[in-house]
Amino acid sequence: MEAAIYNPEGKKSGTIELEPKVFGLPWNADLVNQVVRGQEENARRTIAHAKDRSEVRGGGRKPWRQKGTGRARHGSIRSPIWTGGGVTHGPTKNEKYGQKINQKMKTKALYTVLSRKWRDAEVLFVDDLALSAPKTKSAVAMIKHLAEVAKSPSLAYKRGRRVLLLTPEATPAIRKSFSNLGGTLVMPVSQLNPLSALSYKHIIVIEPEKSVKLIANRLLARTTKK
């Protein structure tokens, strides 16, 4: 599997051989769905909380005596059947929504997403941007050039999550150059995951020789740790 490498001006500057295990896997909707849903659940914050009768203020003494009043007996005004009382079976902060995701599943799901995007021509490879200082003008020009090369106008849209830029390591100059562009996110390859890959329409890989190698070695690294 061979892919073209472009420079920031949108001209072809070389080629790269892609790993079939990373960019040649068949689509597996069940695996991707399971991993992405697990990531979303792990990122979910437990906010909703309803007080039960033990947490509601007041109700320390019996409203009236047990017998002789002609009224129903009650032990506390904070009973769930009273207005202003506690809530029965309401949501609490103790709820746990996290799910365990097997690392091999997560890695294979990432490779599956990258393979699908590669087949859909939504992955581009760009050599070193060589930005010594942040410059938004250079970032906009590069996106426009690549949109013409890929024949995909959506790459240059100003709204929506359209471009995910992957760099081999954290680069402040590149991150700041694209920070003013809406719908564009710069991320080190080490932080790439199935959810972030699916959240953006196009993926641009900077310095592909290094970046692709880091992605391909992810499964090997997981196995070696064990």
Q: Are 69 and 85 in a shared domain?
A: yes
Using CA atoms, how far apart are residues 42 and 59, in angstroms rounded to an integer?
38
Domain range for 84: 46-96
Residues 65 and 149 in one domain: no
The answer on 82 and 144 residing in a single domain is no
* H-state helical runs in the chain: 20-23, 29-42, 103-119, 136-150, 172-178, 194-199, 208-216, 218-225
Pair 55, 110 in one domain: no
Give 169's Cβ-side CA count (13 Å radius): 1
Using the 3D structure, point to which of 57, 77, 96 is the last residue of a domain: 96
Burial tier of 203 (Cβ tally within 10 Å: 0-12, 13-18, 19+): buried
- The three-state secondary structure class of 205 is strand
Give the whole-angstrom CA distance, residue 44 versus residue 29: 22
Angle CA 31–209–164, to nearest 5 = 50
Are residue 31 and residue 58 in the same domain, yes or no? no
pTM of the model: 0.78
pLDDT digits (tens), the chain, 226 positions: 888 888 888 888 888 999 899 999 999 999 999 999 999 999 888 889 999 998 999 888 899 999 999 999 999 999 999 999 999 999 988 888 888 899 999 999 999 999 999 999 899 999 887 777 788 888 888 888 888 887 777 777 777 788 999 999 888 888 888 888 888 899 999 999 999 999 999 999 999 999 999 998 876 555 445 4
What are residue 206's DSSP bridge partners? 126
Structural domain tally of the chain?
2
